[in-house]
Amino acid sequence: MLRMEPVSVTGMGCVCAAGTNLKDILRALEAGQRAPLPPSRFKSGHTRTYPVFEVPEHVRCEQKNGPDLSMTAHFALHAVKEALLQAGLAISDLDTSRVGVCIGTSVGASLNLLDFYRGTRAGQTPDLEPVHRYLNSNPAVTLAHALGTTGPVQTVVNACSSGADAIGLAASWIAQGICDIVIAGGADEMSEVTYNGFIRLMISDQSPCRPFDKSRGGLNLGEGAGIVILEASASREKRNAGELATILGYGTAADAHHLTAPHPQGVGLKLAISDALDAAGLTTADISFINAHGTGTANNDTVEATVLNELFPQTPFISTKGMTGHTLGAAGAIEAIFTMGHLAAGGIPASAGFSEEDPALSASPARRHTPVHGKAAISQSLAFGGNNTVLVIGKGRAI
């Protein structure tokens, strides 16, 4: 892996069940108050209740004379407004720069067409509105159209590592001189199909999820978006913009082991960590904490604990999915932003839902607020298909 130059983060925006802006979300993570509920936007025929972490309906953005959009697109539009505001960028400022857009998602809104499918199978002529909504809602294209950018546009669909991959790819556009600014991140909404799919896989918890806990019973689904503004040094310095964090390294590797389970020894995860650290020019000793993928499923938590104990035996780690649910294609971006926030704050909160160590796991997350003092941290994502993605994140530098 080639060494990469640090890429500045000048803006961050986030929305999830824990809050509708980053400041409120970080405060909620520290407080550890959570209240997942049964899904409200669709109904399930299950006799058992599986709670989820939904984003409030009022997050839907007003689009004057614009197309009807999916909630995934609305989440992305909501988060990008916060990110641009924090970066000190007006939409008109983007006209004079080479601006790219790179957004990760999983299924996005592509599975929210059940009524259309049912009508078609019944020999009816169903309304095409949901199809048009889907076709209008590619998240990266939606942002590019809304902001009037003319640079490269990429939607990354790589299951639960999509958001992290989008940030890593976007950082490479900056490093290669392709763009001055890249709007990057992830967005995803829940759907009835994914909800039922995870239940059928028997990895959904009927209680609020408990990552790494002895009594964990699986994941809770969530939704939301996380958007960062990545900026080349020349552009940032010209604007005299603050640097909130840096992307120091990016690594991604596939297990080639199983469609939905990670390799038992975490082969791909360890390779992704090694590549990301090499790109950053750092070692494991330089990492002050790790934001683990931490879904609360038996397979994921076992593999992550094994790898973290082997590579980072003294390094604290957390899972934030106990506060957000698993936001799928948005998770890697949302959690990268949390990592930036916690690195800047100098501490990580307790892992929500964790209370009892599992003797079968070789490592456990932080059970209380833990100060951190280093200048770099890791956010890691494990995905269906065996993909593993790691971002090495650095502290921002004062201007």
Of 117, 111, 74, 120, the C-alpha closest to 192 is 111
User: For residue 289, which amino acid is it?
Assistant: F
293 is annotated as an active-site residue: yes
Candidates 74, 78, 263, 326; catalytic one: 326
Candidates 160, 179, 209, 263; catalytic one: 160
> What DSSP string describes 16-49?
ETTBSSHHHHHHHHHHT----B--SSS----SS-
Residue 274 C-alpha from the chain's centroid: 21
160 is annotated as an active-site residue: yes
Name the 3-class secondary structure at 345. Answer: helix
326 is annotated as an active-site residue: yes
The secondary structure of 258-295, three-state, reads: CCCCCCCCCHHHHHHHHHHHHHHCCCHHHEEEEECCCC
Q: How many residues does the chain have?
A: 399
Name the 3-class secondary structure at 303. Answer: helix
Residues annotated as part of the active site: 160, 293, 326
